[in-house]
Amino acid sequence: MLLNILIPLVCIVFDQIVKYWASTELQAIGSIPLWEGVFHLTYCENTGAAFSMFTGQRWMLLGVTVVLLAALLWALCKGWMQNAFGRLSLQLIIGGAIGNMIDRVLMGYVVDMFDFCLIDFPIFNVADIFLCVGVGMMILYILVMEPKIEKAKKEASNDGDGVSDCDA
């Protein structure tokens, strides 16, 4: 239970520290090439969501975030994710969503800074990383791990019913 609070909190704090640095230091510079033409730290204010979709739709994005967070918190509290991997996926998504929500509430935009110029990828931030990793983990959990967990539960319940597989 403590990890359900601690992991999202660590995600939020780390995200907000990096965004604070970007706002106070990087904004004045604009961009710092770490690997010229490949990867830069570039200050950007994103009023949209991923890939700048829904630009300028602050209140809609906040509403969707609140509903999503409520559903994720409910799933976490209900124990829908039956192992640590599944729970971690929810915790990362919750931390990332709250990190970006804080920006939207306080400033009306999300601060982004990681810029892969080589492939012209949208600029993103720490919270986005937590969200993407969490969603990827959730997909793996749902498609790969959960069916195995359910199969093992079913086999365990069949083993205890007094009927062997040979009798069936």
Check if 15 is active-site.
no
Check if 120 is active-site.
no
Residue-wise burial string across 68-94, b where 16 or more C-beta atoms lie within 10 A, e elsewhere: ebeebeeebeeeebeeeebbbbbbbbb
Candidates 15, 103, 112, 115; catalytic one:
112
**CB-CB contact of 87 with 3 (8 Å):** yes
Candidates 15, 103, 115, 128; catalytic one:
128
Instruction: In whole angstroms, give the CA distance from residue 43 to residue 89.
Output: 28
Token pair 């019913």 in the structure block, residue: 161
Token pair 């770490």 in the structure block, residue: 34
Among all residues, which ones are annotated catalytic?
A: 112, 128
